[in-house]
């Protein structure tokens, strides 16, 4: 649910709601989020909420692959366990964050998003889904 500042709050009882509801709440509270997908470690979507233009199956597969490759790089270079990655392109952001054991949260957001608020919302949502 959105708090007074308009930011998503995972403390609104995520255990009582399923993953689809948690993802829908993220998108409702942050209008810059175009897609939110809960993904298994092997790239299968568990739940998704996205604008019609986003292929959530493709986002799920690519997010899992991206996290796997980035995690290996982090371990090889001594950075420890990778928890999240984000990319900023000319049209927006892609954020992939661990959401418990064996699953990740993949989000796409518009380029006008405020990065700090976006990361905070994604982290809270990932924690709620864990």
Q: What are 16-64's pLDDT values in tens digits?
A: 579 999 999 999 999 999 999 999 988 999 999 999 999 999 999 999 8
Which residues partner with 104 through β-bridges?
39, 98
Tell me, what's the pLDDT at 81? 85
Is 58 a domain residue?
A: yes
Is 3 a domain residue?
A: no
Is 82 a domain residue?
A: yes
37 burial via Cβ count (<10 Å: 0-12, 13-18, 19+): buried
Question: Would you say residue 102 has pLDDT above 80?
Answer: yes
Is 107 a domain residue?
A: yes
Is 8 a domain residue?
A: no
Is 30 a domain residue?
A: yes
Q: How many domains are there within the chain?
A: 1
Is 4 a domain residue?
A: no
Range of the domain at 114: 14-129
Indicate which CATH number applies to the domain containing 110: 3.30.450.30
C-beta separation of 7 from 29 below 8 A: yes
Is 113 a domain residue?
A: yes
Q: For 9-14, what is the mean pLDDT?
A: 42
CA distance 77 to 93: 25
Decide which of 19 and 12 is more confident.
19
Tell me, what's the pLDDT at 12? 44
Q: In 10 A of CB 32, how many CB atoms? A: 19
What does the CA dihedral 64, 66, 68, 69 come to, rounded to 10 degrees? 160
């Amino acid at each position: 649910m959105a708090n007074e500042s308009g930011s998503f709050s995972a403390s609104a009882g995520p255990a009582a709601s399923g993953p689809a509801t948690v993802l829908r709440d993220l998108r409702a509270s942050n209008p810059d989020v175009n897609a939110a997908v809960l993904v298994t470690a092997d790239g299968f979507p568990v739940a998704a909420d996205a604008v019609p233009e986003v292929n959530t199956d493709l986002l799920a597969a690519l997010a899992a692959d991206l996290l796997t490759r980035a995690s290996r790089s982090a371990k090889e270079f001594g950075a420890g366990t990778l928890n999240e990655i984000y990319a900023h392109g000319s049209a927006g952001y892609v954020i992939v964050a661990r959401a418990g054991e064996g699953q990740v949260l993949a989000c796409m957001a518009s380029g006008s998003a405020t990065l700090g608020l976006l990361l905070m919302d994604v982290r809270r949502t990932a924690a709620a889904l864990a």
